[in-house]
Amino acid sequence: MGASRVTVATLEGIRAEVITTDRLTTRVLFSGPDDGVPVLFIHGNFSSATWWEESMLALPEKYRGIAPDQRGFGEADPAVKVNAQNGMNDLVEDAIALMDHLGHDKFHLVGNSLGGLVAWWMMAAWPQRLLSVTLPGPGSPYGFGATTDELGTPVNDDYAGSGGGLLNRDLIRNIREGDRTADSPFTPRSVLRLLVWGPPFIPEREDTLLEATMHVHLGDRDLPGDHESSTNWPYFSPGKWGATNAMSPKYVGDLVERILAAEPKPKILWIYGADDPAISNNAASDPATRGQAGLLEGYPGAELYPHQPMMKQIRKVLDDYTARGGEYEEVAISDSGHVPFMSHPDEFNRAFHNHLERNE
């Protein structure tokens, strides 16, 4: 563990431990009884386990909330990197190793954003471990960026416009410099307010959640990760390191077919903010959206580089999952952005807790 890293404060009722498995040393947050039914919470990009604390404390008494800092984030060992060529497998296997270490053979799984991608991959690889799956604002199972339709067809053969090159360099610089202001659209606080919380909502614990963002690991093998040049607009393609490169559809492979073929099929709750700016059919960080806004020069137009239809992709996979014997429930929370578990906790917890109870 890096001696210079500072642990972010936790709420009363949350216990923080440093746990070492055969894969990773990291901070893990706990709530509820040690012998409770385990609920594993997987955080998103630019965040950490800290983001789940209110949801963990709201669990009914019989549940044990468990939330690790994933590799590349928070208090995870900074020497351990995400090999993007494995897609989400590094993060999946870290989570499985943690649950093995804690003695939990079966558990409920919750994943937001990047954590939702981890959940898709875990459904493909470890369905027998899952009591249920809850997807609040998940990424598309086809990854982020550079696909054209609900089947995940790539825009071009090198997946240009996805991966580490897409991250805004001003944002990365401002994190590195510790800018906690809202003085420009590209400070971490401003990005969280615009793309994550969703105006006008601002969390009561915004400063603490911002600290979690400031604790992401930075570099060519972390965030933003590396990238390669491309002859296709926007002239960069995915690299090989870091979580954002691992999100590229380049590394998805046959994931969707493996999800659909996996047995057993845990029941899924897909719950999302109806006004989510981060995951939609024209997401704010989509290269097409950024190109239209002049944030990526030379945009060739929607005919040559369309928006990724993320919501259509998710719904198509879930409908196919149902056709193959699975079940899912879809809940859209009005006036909510990317983190409905924060902005609308009563509505989120009502659906979430009912889902847990039905799938013991």
Q: How many domains are contained in the chain?
A: 1
| 182 part of a folded domain | no
Domain membership of residue 102 as a residue range: 15-154+251-358
Which helix H or strand E contains 56, and what residues bound it? helix 53-57
Does residue 227 sit within a domain? Answer: no
- Tell me what percent of the residues of the chain surpass a pLDDT of 90: 97
Residue 105 lies in a domain: yes
Residue 177 covered by a domain? no
Q: Are 141 and 120 in contact (CB under 8 A)?
A: yes
- The model's pTM: 0.97
Indicate the SS3 state at residue 232: coil
Indicate the pLDDT class of residue 7, thresholds 50, 70 and 90. Answer: confident
**Could you give the CA distance from residue 192 to residue 161 in angstroms, rounded to a whole number?**
22
Residue-level pLDDT at 360: 86
Question: Per the omega criterion (within 30 degrees of 0), is the bond before 264 cis?
Answer: yes
Mean pLDDT of the chain: 96
199 within some domain: no
Structure tokens at 108: 């409920």
Residue 2 has pLDDT above 60, yes or no: no
Q: For 76-87, what is each residue's pLDDT tens digit?
A: 999 999 999 999
Q: What's the whole-number mean pLDDT along residues 331-348? A: 98
Lowest mean pLDDT segment, chosen from 95-99, 126-130, 291-295: 291-295
Question: Does 19 fall in a domain?
Answer: yes
Q: What is the pLDDT of residue 3?
A: 35
**CATH code (residue 27):** 3.40.50.1820
Is 5's pLDDT higher than 60? no
Residue 29 lies in a domain: yes
Residue 81 lies in a domain: yes
